[in-house]
Structure 1
């Protein structure tokens, strides 16, 4: 059967213009495309069953994949990649999704080594929140793994919701070929039993295990060897998990009924996010950010594990060394025929723009610490912005039809649209970002609300310092908060300014941020933003 598309420039379904191939594998291709109807970039993914399935099986699986993708399209959560459209092209499901630019968790671990426990816990909280949203809608992912987790800017995003039917439910191709790996598969999947929300909790545990250990719970050179280990023995006890160790043991219980409830998982993750790092938490030798390691991550594999220091971490609810219940040996042979297929290297779906170097929470430096920060005067002009603004050299006018404004930004900057939060992001590749959204809040109340968020959401933020909070003269009513905060998801400190204001065209919220050392240099860009902001 031919591929969904053959070349850049081709128009799919009369609407999606293919611009660049981002990846391909046993399940088809992934393209970056431009939605000519809504003038936005999207990801177009074809989902194709194995070529040697009979027609009846292919039609059944295609129909189910379409139904699940349509169900996933109803999900509206910042932690889940948005599905925009579902269609058939050459009898294959065609899924049009939000194009998210970033790196997968698999890439980050491959390049940087095991993550600090606290950072892994924060990522786990974000994943759990997204899973709970999906489960409440009756949707189970069934293929949660580091390659399907994207960390970009301030978001942790799960990809491929609703796309696991062809990837996870086909048992065997007619030729007997096997695709994929059971490294993150729950035992009930391997045994051909029913799946449910508890299956995703196993996937969460296996993903977090990989994040802190640098390798999956089960590994080996051959599919059958890994699958046999999954069905016959518990995972090796983690050595770097620290405060996450009891949670990993609980999530990786073989019996789905014994895995903890989501609210208990949330509590354990919150405690782990506040706990001190275990000894020997530095990335082990052997992990490097070179092209070879990056390539391995993009193809769904990790570099061989390096020796890690043993830690005196007590066993959790599951005794890691205990033997599992006697396996049904017939299922080991049958389960060896399961395929867990997907486009190789889900991370290649995304344009890689985040190039930061995530490390453990650093001790504040003199340049980046809140105590060393100077309070800025209000940025930009006073009073209502009126008239036709002058365009500085090196800037271009960006018109946002979704939010009804135009503004001057540097020509090198890009824009992305988050449909779930109705937020526009304008940014460069050096840590500068401007987030714009509509706001109906009273400006000072909005600023105080953000202060409360920083002070109470300690699983995501720390070291918050309020530098300035006041009403300002901008538009008909405005207030702004200047601050410095440590973002645990992106593992970096930011100097930020949050301004809520009212103009004739309505109320807006604008959040500006940069690395603390770049704040003064960034003021010119931000002042130009406010000086040229006009409602349309």
Structure 2
């Protein structure tokens, strides 16, 4: 680990397995490891960064074994190839023949680059002339030999001494920048008006122009780990939202629905509700979007007390993700606040109709039972799905 360091290409899961005690796969290191390295290299070359954080070797090894890589969103036609090569299970990766076929197909279908107007044409090759074979360093010796023997060494020396080096130029620029910064600080201290004392200012905040501005909201969403007394997550709502009967703030375009199955949640206006089905799901739907709510169907006595394990391995609503051959998971994290535990994540998979789905999911543990908030929709509509998900998780309350 010390010699290799935090380099994703060198830490395939089967290589990291011996140093990660919880890793379950034990595939031998072989060609699949080289395919992993190729996938990480293609990801790095196209995306501009590695598929995993590389600040620490120990963290990189743990992430490689426990979480899938980042989305290869900028890889274009290469995306399915890259994401397949970066699968954690070596047996799920493309083999050499499949990879060769994919790459040949992509090369054949790739458009020719636009050469543009500033291109120097290459002169046609003369087949009657043989290439000139030169020894290493021959051109340098000839160039030096062509210099006159009586050149004025003193003039060249003085010219070299008078010419500024890049290092001295960098020092000069740095000195000028520091002087400008010092002047700006001095000007601010001498001439700009001083702020009021914190005790006299109260809750009002005044800008440099003397106009009062409201204090920023301190409410936080699921990402900051806030929760309400009943264990449901709480998130900040947009400033244009409305307050309903002392309950959570609801954004414009949403309405707070008090469901007869024992919960309340903010749903976009105009959505249709489907009564609880045989899987214990209450579904609100509109077009290609679905809000799925499961109020306490599964218990910790049957599914364990770890929401992340439940979400990743046991949650029925994510079974299509586990069954799909083209699926990804990212943003997996556990939130523990006030004795309550939640797990959330982002998932993609291809459904039975060939549609690419993007899913935001949260599993909330309340009084020994799991409550689920899940929003599904087309992968191309990620921002809209996130907006619906944020409102649902911020306003979900168990009332049963």
Q: What range is the shorter-chain TM-score in? A: 0.3 to 0.5
- TM-score, L = length of structure 1: 0.27
- TM-score, L = length of structure 2: 0.36
Structure with larger Rg? 2
For CA contacts below 8 A with separation 6 or more, give which structure has more relative contact order. 1
